[in-house]
Amino acid sequence: MIGPDHYLVVAALLFGIGLTGVLVRRNALSVFMSIELMLNAANLTFLTFARHPLVGKPSVDGHAIAFLVMAVAAAEAAVGLAVIIATFRVRGTINLDDVRSLRG
């Protein structure tokens, strides 16, 4: 039987992969995808504790927070991709080492 510990291990692995991607990668799109992976790991954790609470009955609080995180991730995707596209149009690259300042 799959318990909450299995979900938490998967969430920790996803978050670790995302954190490694943020720290190691130099491409803005790779960093962006790694941040999305970390947000998905947080969602999995919220939903795990909503389904299997430490104390009491299952509630919808974790579902509501996960929905809020998904809304923030969608807004971040729209704004982040717009910034990446604008940076590529101005600088011709999305390598984070080459793009250090916001000066044109």
Kind plus residue range of the DSSP H or E element containing 54: none
Say if 26 falls within a structural domain: yes
Say if 101 falls within a structural domain: no
Question: Exposed (0-12), middle (13-18) or buried (19+): which is 32, by Cβ within 10 Å?
Answer: buried
Say if 99 falls within a structural domain: no
pLDDT at 103: 63
Say if 96 falls within a structural domain: no
Say if 45 falls within a structural domain: yes
What would the DSSP string read from start to end of 11-33?
HHHHHHHHHHHHHH--BHHHHHH
Domain count, the chain: 1
Give me the CATH number covering residue 28.
Answer: 1.10.287.3510
Q: Which residues of 67-98 are buried (b: 16+ CB within 10 A; e: fewer)?
A: eeeeeebeeeeeebeeebeebeeeeeebeeee
What is the reported pTM?
A: 0.85
| Domain assignment of residue 50, given as a range | 4-91
Please report, in tens digits, the pLDDT of each residue of the chain (104 residues total).
888 999 999 999 999 999 999 999 989 999 999 999 999 999 999 999 998 888 788 888 889 999 999 999 999 999 999 999 998 998 888 888 887 766 65
